[in-house]
Amino acid sequence: MLLCVMSLATGSFGQNVPKKEQNRPNIIFILADDMGYGDVSAYNEHSKIQTKNIDRLASKGVKFTDAHTSSAVCTPTRYGILTGRYNWRSTLKQHVLYGYSEALIAEDRVTIGSFLQAEGYKTAGIGKWHLGWDWDNIEAGDSLVNFSEKIKNGPTTRGFDYWFGFSGSLDMAPYVWVENDEPTMVPTKFTQNTGQKMWRKGPTSDDFDHEQVLPDITSKTVQFISENAKGDQPFFIYMPLPAPHTPILPTSDFQGKSGLDNPYGDFVLMVDWVVGEVMKSLEENGIADNTILIFTSDNGCSNQANFEQLATKGHDPSYVFRGHKADIFEGGHRVPFIVRWPAKVKASTSDQLVCTTDFFATVADVLDQKVEDNFAEDSFSFSAALGLPTKEATRESIVHHSINGSFAYRKGDYKAIFCPGSGGWSYPTPNDDVIKTLPPFQLYNLSTDIGEEHNLETEEAALLEQYRLELAKIVTDGRSTKGAPQKNDGPSVWPQLSWMEKK
C-alpha cells in the first residue's frame, strides 16, 4: 500500500520498468560506522592499518578524495543516504536517535529503497538501522516493550522488501534481532559492558551475541546475494555495518592482527574482511561486473578509538584533517568513498565534491529516471565523475552539520563555519569556556589550509557574507537542487540558525 501511495505522490517513476535481461545493475551500498578517512590505507600513505580488500576495491573503481557525509554523526547521515535530503530538514535538528526511538523518516517520503522498488528492484537492508521504528507498547515505557509483537514503521515500510538487523547502534539497547517486522526472539536477559567494548545495559535475546553481529550481518548479506544473483529482478542491498563503532569487538581471528595494540585497528581489519566477503560473493556468483558496489563511512572516527594511543603507533584515523566524529571540522565528515562498477566505470581518482545524499540522484541518473521536486531535494548526480554520460548538474557546494546542530558551508576552496569551535567533541567544544572568547564564525581556505588553522573571517569578510546568504537560501528554500521550493520539517527557527541574521 505504501509503495502505491508513493508512486501516486511522486509521478510516473517505475512505469515501463525494463526487465533484468536488459542489464540493469545490481547495487550494494556498504556503510561503515565511525571509520575515519585515514583508516583506509588507499587514502593514507602513513596508515598503519592495511585494508587490502578496500584498497582492491579502490584500485578497480573510482576513489573520491573530497567526499562528505551530510552529518558528523550516525542517525542524520543515514537519513540523508536513504532520502537524498539533508538531515537537518527532518525533525531531528541535532544529536542522534536511540534504540527505542520512533521512526524518523516520514511515511510519505520517498526513499532510495521505495524508488528502486518502483523501478523493479528487489531491495534489502541488513545491519544497523538507527532511524527509529515503533516497538509494540512503547508508550508504556522502554522496560514494558512487547517483543513478541511486530514492530511498526520499520524498514519494510520505508522501501525494503527484506530487513534483518537491529534498531540502534550496537551499544544501544535493546539487543534484539528483527527480521522483516518481527523480533527473532524475546529477550530473556540483561547485558552490558565497559571500556572500548562498551554497550549500555539492556534487554538481550539469546540469539544476539555482540561479538558475532558483524559476521552474522555478513552471512545474511552473502546469502541474499547468492539467492538473488540469478533471479528475474536486479537487487539493491543497503548494508549499514555496526563497526568499527563501539563496542569495539574484533573476533578472535582478528585480535592483534593490526599490530597497533588497540582493538580498534583490529576491528577496522574486520570491516575490511566484510568488504572482501561481499566482493568474493559477487565474483563467485558471476555478477561482479554489473554490480555497482559502494563503500563509505557514516562520519569520521570516534574518539573512543583512543587517538592518543594510536598516535604512539604513528596512525591517525583523521589523516591530515582537523577533528573527528561529531565535529564540524573536516575530520568529522570527510570520509572514504569508493564506487566500483566494472561493466561501465574505469578505475580513477576523483576530486569531485560529493555528499552521501548524492547516492539517490546518481542511481536515478544511471537508471535514466527523473527525480521529482518533492524528493531527493539535496541530491546531485556524480555520474560525470564516474565517466558516465549525464545531463545532470554536478555538486558545487555542500552544507555540513555537527552533532550539536552547527552549520558549515563549503564552496570551492573555502569553507565557512557558522559557530565558534568544533560544534562537537574535539577542542574547543561548545561547552568550553574559551568559546566565549572566539570569533562567532570561521572561514578557511582548504586549498592552502587543510588543517583549518587560520581563520580568515576578518580578511575575507565579503566572502563570508556571500556564503552566509547562500546557505540561508538553501535552508529557506527547502532544497539545494533546482526545483520548486519545499518545506522543512519541524521548527521553522532553530537556535543554531542565529547566523541567518547578519551579525
Q: For the segment 371-413, what is each residue's pLDDT rounded down to a tens digit?
A: 999 999 999 999 999 999 999 999 999 999 999 999 999 999 9
Give the confidence band of 497 by pLDDT, cuts at 50, 70, 90. Answer: confident
Query: Nine-digit cell at 192?
Result: 552490558
**Mean local confidence (pLDDT), 161-180:** 98
Can you tell me the distance from the alpha carbon of 257 to that of 311, in angstroms, rounded to the nearest whole number?
A: 18
Domains and CATH numbers, the chain: 2-393 (3.40.720.10), 398-500 (3.30.1120.10)
pLDDT digits (tens, 9 = 90+) for 470-482: 999 999 999 999 9
| pLDDT higher than threshold 80 for residue 319 | yes
- What is the pLDDT at residue 20? 52
Give the confidence band of 1 by pLDDT, cuts at 50, 70, 90. Answer: very low
| pLDDT higher than threshold 90 for residue 252 | yes
Percent of the chain with pLDDT over 70: 95
Please provide the size of the chain in residues. 503
Q: 385: closest CA among 345, 440, 334, 438?
A: 345
Q: 223: closest CA among 266, 264, 162, 304?
A: 162
The answer for residues whose C-beta is within 8 angstroms of residue 212's C-beta and 6 or more apart is 251
Give the confidence band of 14 by pLDDT, cuts at 50, 70, 90. Answer: very low
Average of per-residue pLDDT values in the chain: 94
- What is the pLDDT at residue 498? 86
**Mean local confidence (pLDDT), 301-326:** 98
- What is the pLDDT at residue 492? 77
- What is the pLDDT at residue 221? 98
The answer for residues whose C-beta is within 8 angstroms of residue 49's C-beta and 6 or more apart is 39, 41, 258, 260, 265, 268, 269, 315
Query: Nine-digit cell at 151?
Result: 514492530
Strand ordering across the sheet containing 26-33: 182-183, 178-179, 162-166, 122-128, 235-244, 26-33, 291-297, 337-340, 62-64, 348-350
pLDDT digits (tens, 9 = 90+) for 201-234: 999 999 999 999 999 999 999 999 999 999 999 9
| 503 compared with 42, residue with greater pLDDT | 42
pLDDT digits (tens, 9 = 90+) for 102-138: 999 999 999 999 999 999 999 999 999 999 999 998 7
**Mean local confidence (pLDDT), 317-340:** 98
Give the confidence band of 493 by pLDDT, cuts at 50, 70, 90. Answer: confident
Of the listed ranges 5-19, 322-336, 340-354, 441-455, the least confidently predicted one is: 5-19
- What is the pLDDT at residue 22? 63
Give the confidence band of 496 by pLDDT, cuts at 50, 70, 90. Answer: confident
| pLDDT higher than threshold 80 for residue 6 | no
| CA angle in degrees (0–180, nearest 5) for 357-363-368 | 135
The answer for residues whose C-beta is within 8 angstroms of residue 130's C-beta and 6 or more apart is 74, 75, 78, 96, 97, 167, 168, 169, 240
| pLDDT higher than threshold 90 for residue 200 | yes
Record the pTM. Answer: 0.95
